[in-house]
């Protein structure tokens, strides 16, 4: 029996036994990705129309959606279950693999291991989850689908990344983590957890002045961009560094 691999955490594609199937065009890819993102729920025609054309669908939208779905059924083959129940469609991947579902499973297990203090397992599971990403997610879809779903997917990815680094730091891998964290704080200057992790990493590398400098930079950025003071986690790590606590960053 052939195996399908559905991928949306990067360029949208489907592979059968390793061979990429011809899912051509932004709208065809959007229909596939939108049905997969809907999970075990029917995706209404109106929602699918919004993902395809935004707020100005053509008068023939129902006919065009029907054509895209029919074409998708033909490409994926008879073993794939795409059902119609007015006013929408549902795609059930079944036993085939779906990168987002696998990412969510690994992230959930990794986060649970992190909370339980099983740091090796947490680091491994979260690393496996993140290895499924081939950024950017939903590449090849319409801008309407990307606008609707990308923030949610990116938040899940970054949260898993924060957790994986948390596990690595709990395992004493602060020296190895320093270059990555420095880059992440530049990329996400208002993510306080990354900043707290970088402060802790500098502190463990006997670079207390650099750790405090990271805090002051974060306080300035938060004030200028959002009019906010640092949150509880940043303040906790800052105070712990000032008093010389052995482990400024408590695993969250």
CATH number at residue 223: 1.25.40.10
Domains identified in the chain, total number: 2
Residues in contact with 109: Cβ distance below 8 Å, sequence separation at least 6, in sequence order: 125
Domain enclosing residue 209, as ranges = 173-252
Beta bridge partners of residue 83, listed in sequence order: 90
**What local confidence, expressed as pLDDT, does residue 251 receive?**
40
8-state DSSP, 86:
T
Closest CA to 220 of 229, 211, 233: 229
8-state DSSP, 42:
P
Helical H segments across 171-207, by residue range: 174-187, 192-204
Is there a contact between 233 and 193 (Cβ–Cβ < 8 Å)?
yes
Within-domain flag for 35: yes
Within-domain flag for 117: no
**What local confidence, expressed as pLDDT, does residue 96 receive?**
83
Per-residue pLDDT of the chain (252 residues), as tens digits, is 678 999 999 999 999 988 999 998 999 999 999 999 998 899 999 999 999 999 999 999 999 999 999 999 999 988 788 999 888 999 987 778 999 999 999 999 999 999 999 999 999 999 999 999 998 999 999 999 999 999 999 999 999 999 999 999 999 999 999 999 999 999 999 999 999 999 999 999 999 999 999 999 999 999 999 999 999 999 999 999 999 887 777 543
| Angle between helix 208-226 and 192-204 (nearest 10) | 170
Within-domain flag for 119: no
Within-domain flag for 40: yes
List the CATH number of the domain containing 90.
1.10.10.10
Measuring CA to CA, how many Å separate 39 from each of 51, 93, 94, 200? 16, 9, 11, 39
Domain boundary among 97, 125, 142: 97
Distance separating alpha carbons of residues 151 and 30, to the nearest angstrom: 16
Closest CA to 93 of 241, 102, 193, 225: 102
> Taking the alpha carbons of 119, 122, 128, 129 in that order, is the dihedral positive or negative?
negative
SS3 (DSSP) at 95: coil
Within-domain flag for 204: yes
**Does residue 8 sit in the same domain as residue 93?**
yes
Distance separating alpha carbons of residues 69 and 160, to the nearest angstrom: 33
**What local confidence, expressed as pLDDT, does residue 168 receive?**
96
Beta strand 88-92 pairing with 81-85: antiparallel
Is there a contact between 220 and 195 (Cβ–Cβ < 8 Å)?
no
Could you tell me the pTM of the whole model?
0.91
Within-domain flag for 113: no
Domain boundary among 97, 122, 147: 97
Distance separating alpha carbons of residues 153 and 126, to the nearest angstrom: 15
């Amino acid at each position: 029996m052939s195996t399908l691999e559905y991928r949306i955490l990067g360029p949208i594609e489907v592979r059968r036994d390793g061979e990429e199937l011809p899912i051509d065009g932004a709208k065809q890819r959007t229909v596939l990705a939108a049905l997969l993102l809907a999970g075990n729920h029917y995706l209404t025609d109106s929602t699918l129309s919004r993902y395809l054309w935004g707020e100005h669908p053509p008068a023939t939208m129902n006919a065009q959606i029907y054509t895209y779905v029919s074409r998708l059924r033909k490409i994926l083959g008879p073993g794939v279950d795409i059902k119609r129940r007015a006013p929408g469609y549902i795609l059930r991947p079944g036993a085939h693999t779906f990168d987002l579902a696998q990412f969510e499973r690994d992230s959930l297990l990794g986060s649970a291991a992190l909370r339980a203090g099983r740091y090796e397992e947490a680091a491994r599971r979260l690393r496996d989850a993140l290895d499924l990403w081939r950024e950017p997610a939903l590449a090849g879809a319409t801008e309407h689908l990307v606008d609707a779903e990308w923030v949610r997917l990116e938040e899940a990815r970054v949260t898993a990344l924060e957790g994986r680094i948390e596990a690595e730091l709990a395992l004493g891998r602060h020296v190895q983590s320093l270059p990555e964290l420095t880059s992440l704080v530049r990329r996400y200057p208002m993510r306080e957890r990354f900043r707290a992790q970088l402060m802790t990493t500098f502190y463990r590398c006997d670079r207390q002045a650099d750790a405090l400098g990271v805090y002051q930079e974060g306080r300035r950025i938060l004030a200028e961009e959002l009019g906010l003071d640092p949150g509880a986690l940043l303040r906790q790590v800052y105070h712990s560094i000032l008093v010389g606590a052995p482990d400024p960053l408590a695993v969250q």
